[in-house]
Amino acid sequence: MQIVLFQPQIPQNTGNIVRTCAATGSSLLLVRPLGFSTKDRWLKRAGLDYWTDVQIEEIDDLPAYLEQTNFPFFFFSSKSSIPYTETSYPEDALLIFGSETHGLAPIFWERWKDRFYTIPMAAGQRCLNLANSAAIVLYEALRQTNFRTLSTD
Contact residues for 99 (Cβ-Cβ < 8 A; gap 6+): 5, 6, 7, 8, 9, 35
Q: Are 24 and 134 in contact (CB under 8 A)?
A: no
Q: d(Cα 36, Cα 32) in Å, to the nearest integer? A: 10
Which CATH number applies to 2-144? 3.40.1280.10
Q: What is the pLDDT of residues 7-52, one digit of tens each?
A: 999 988 998 999 999 999 999 999 999 998 877 566 666 555 677 8
- DSSP 8-state symbol, 115: G
What value does the mean pLDDT take over residues 91-96?
A: 97
- What pLDDT, on a 0 to 100 scale, did the predictor assign at position 36? 83
Alpha carbon dihedral 96, 129, 11, 46, in 10-degree steps, equals -110
Q: What percent of the chain stands above pLDDT 90?
A: 79
* Higher-scoring residue by pLDDT: 152, 117: 117
- 57 forms bridges with which residues in the sheet? 29
Predicted TM-score of the model (pTM): 0.93
The residues spanned by each domain of the chain are 2-144
Q: What is the pLDDT of residues 128-145, one digit of tens each?
A: 999 999 999 999 999 999
